[in-house]
Amino acid sequence: MKGFLLKLLPVFILLEILSGAPGITQVNKKKALHKKNTPNILFIAVDDLRPELKCYGSKHILSPNIDKIAKRGFLFERAYCQQAVCSPSRTSLLTGLRPDATHIYDLFTHFRKTTPDVITLPQHFKNNGYQTQWFGKIYHAGLNDSVSWTIAGKTFENENNWRSYVLEESNIIADKNKGPGPPFEKADVQDDAYPDGKIANHGIEALKQFRTSGKPFFLALGFYKPHLPFNAPSKYWDMYNAADVKLPDHMYPPDNAPALASSGWGELRAYSGMPAKGELSKEQSINLIDGSYCLIINKLSSLKAMAKTILITPLQRSDVVYINNRKNNAWGSYTYKSGQSL
C-alpha cells in the first residue's frame, strides 16, 4: 500500500500466516476443507497505542516486528472508533453495534444490561465450535463477559495496585494517592514483572496448547500498555535517547477547532508531579514521550515472542492474526497531552 497516513488513525492489521501447507490428497481433502473453513484467530488488543509506528510513517519509532506484520498482511488506514471512551468503543467493536444501539456511554454499565441477547465476536466463534479464551484487557476493566468464552482468562492486574508499579518508591506514592503514582516508571526487571509480560507468556502457552488440541481457537490478548502510567523494564527505555526526543513545532490544537475536540488531559493530571492546571514543562513532556516510545518497543517484543511460537507450531494458510489499538478519538491517545500533535 503506497503512502502513509500521518494523522491520528487506528491501527488494524490483519495477517494471514503462510506456512507452506502440503498438497491435498484425496484422503485428506475433507479434513483440509474443514480446516480451511475454520481458521484459528489470534486477536491482539493494545490499549492507547496510536499509529505512531514506522509502518505508518513515524521513522523515529523502533517497530520492526509490527512493521513485518504490516508488510505481510493488510494495514488499514481509515478505521475509526465509534466512541471516544474506553468501554463504549470496546463494546462497539466486540458486539458490532454502535454506541447508540448498545446505549453504553460510560465505564461502568455492562452491555448485557442494555443489550442482553447480543452475540459478541468471541461468542460467535464459541457458538460455532471454537475454543475461546482471553488474557488481559479485552472488555473494559471489570466488565468481562463470561458467556463469550469457553475457557476462563485472567486480567493479571493487582487488585491493590491498579497501575502495577514494581518499584517501592512508586508504590509508596500510589498508596498515598490511593491509585495513581508517578506517570512513568523505569525498573531493572524482566518483562513478566509487569502484567503485559505475564499476558504475553500465557498467550504463548495457550497457543501451544491450542495447537495440540486439534480444535479451532479464538485467543484474545489485551495488553494494557502504552496506557498510563508509562511503566516498562529499563532495557526498553535504554533503546531511546531522551536527548533525541523532539517536541512538535505546533503544541496546540488546530485553529478554529471546537473546544469539545480537545482534551483537558485530566487523567494525566491525576498522576504524581503533574500540574493540576496549565501546561507541562519541556522536561515533563520529553520524559512522557520517551516513556511512550519505550512502551511501544516493549509491546513489540511481546509480538516477536509470539511470532516465534507461531513458527514453532505453524498456523494453517487460512489462520489469522488480528491486531487493533483501541483508544479515545481514533483508537490513539495523548494528543495534546504531552506535547504531541496530530
Q: Where in the sequence numbering do the catalytic residues fall?
A: 86, 140
pLDDT, position 145: 97
Question: Quick one: DSSP state of residue 54?
Answer: G
Which CATH number does the domain housing residue 19 bear? 3.40.720.10
Q: What is the pLDDT confidence band of residue 285, given thresholds at 50, 70 and 90? A: confident
> Tens of pLDDT along 60-74?
888 888 888 888 888
Q: Determine whether 147 is exposed, middle or buried from the number of CB atoms within 10 Å of its CB (0-12, 13-18, 19+).
A: exposed
What are 185's three cell numbers? Answer: 516508571
- Does residue 154 belong to any structural domain of this protein? yes
- Does residue 101 belong to any structural domain of this protein? yes
Average pLDDT over residues 295-302: 66
Domains in the chain, number: 1
- Does residue 342 belong to any structural domain of this protein? no
167/248: higher pLDDT: 167
Across 188-229, the runs of DSSP E, i.e. the strands, are 217-223
Give percent of the chain above pLDDT 90.
38
State the residue range of the domain holding 298: 12-331
> Tens of pLDDT along 81-133?
788 888 999 999 999 999 999 999 999 999 999 999 999 999 999 999 999 99
- Does residue 1 belong to any structural domain of this protein? no
Q: What is the pLDDT confidence band of residue 179, given thresholds at 50, 70 and 90? A: confident
Is pLDDT above 80 for 231? yes
- Does residue 338 belong to any structural domain of this protein? no
- Does residue 6 belong to any structural domain of this protein? no
Is pLDDT above 80 for 138? yes
- Does residue 3 belong to any structural domain of this protein? no
pLDDT, position 321: 65
What are 320's three cell numbers? Answer: 489469522
- Does residue 221 belong to any structural domain of this protein? yes
Q: Report the alpha-carbon distance of residue 86 to residue 244 in Å, rounded.
A: 32
